[in-house]
Structure formats: C-alpha cells, structure tokens
Amino acid sequence: MKLFTGLILCSLVLGVHSQWMSFFGEAYEGAKDMWRAYSDMREANYKGADKYFHARGNYDAAQRGPGGAWAAKVISDARENIQRFTGQGQEDSRADQAANEWGRSGKDPNHFRPAGLPDKY
C-alpha cells in the first residue's frame, strides 16, 4: 500500500512539474515573440503600423499556449500602464490594448496591417 501511494504521489508531482515547465517554456517563447514584434516595429518605422505590431506580437505569443498568452498579457499591460503613467495618451493606450486583445484572442493581426507595409513584416 505504501509503495502504491508513493507511486501515485510521485506521478502527480512529476505531472504537475512538467505542466509548470511547459507553462514557463511557453511564457519564455511568448516573451521572445513580443520582443520580435517590438523590434520589427522599430525597424519598420512605418507610420500607422503600431497596432498591427501590437496585435501580431500578442497573436504569436498566444499561439504558444497558456504561458505565451499570459506573457503577452503581462507585457502588454505593463507597457500600457507605463504609457499612462508617463502621460502618453489615454486614447492611444486604449486602442493599443484593443489591438493586444484582438491578437491574444487568436484573431488575424493583419486586420490592423496598414497598406504599403513591406512584406518582410
């Protein structure tokens, strides 16, 4: 009976451990997706494309799984809260958050893609 209980306990611990490791892996990869979208936005330097890059970063991260979606939400919320704190515009921040949520929900980020943005992005 003790052996059986020990085996059950070990399998539960290992199962939970692997789920957490998967979550953190997804979060790490999602954070990299967010950074890639930010870097592409800076490189493109294309007027009116910021909502597209917000949606794309959140979309890519959320496609990783729950950990990626969590990372995208945390990063997006932090970025927008910093903008609000520094007074960079409530209206723009709300529009950014709408694009963030659009991407995280799995909707196509190309909805926000401006005409003329190079195909590289």
pLDDT at 120 > cutoff 80? yes
Residue type (1 letter), 100: N
Predicted local distance difference test score (pLDDT) of residue 58:
98
Judging by beta carbons within 10 Å of its beta carbon (0-12, 13-18, 19+), is residue 79 exposed, middle or buried?
middle
From first CA to last CA, the distance across the chain in angstroms is: 60
pLDDT at 61 > cutoff 90? yes
Q: Which CATH number fits domain 22-112: 1.10.132.110, 3.40.50.1980, 1.20.1050.140, 3.40.50.970?
A: 1.10.132.110
**Distance (Å, rounded) from C-alpha 100 to C-alpha 94?**
10
**pLDDT tens digit sequence for 13-45:** 556 567 778 999 999 999 999 999 999 999 999
pLDDT at 3 > cutoff 70? no
**Distance (Å, rounded) from C-alpha 93 to C-alpha 49?**
14
Q: What is the mean pLDDT of residues 83-100?
A: 85
pLDDT at 59 > cutoff 70? yes
Tell me the domain boundaries of the chain.
22-112
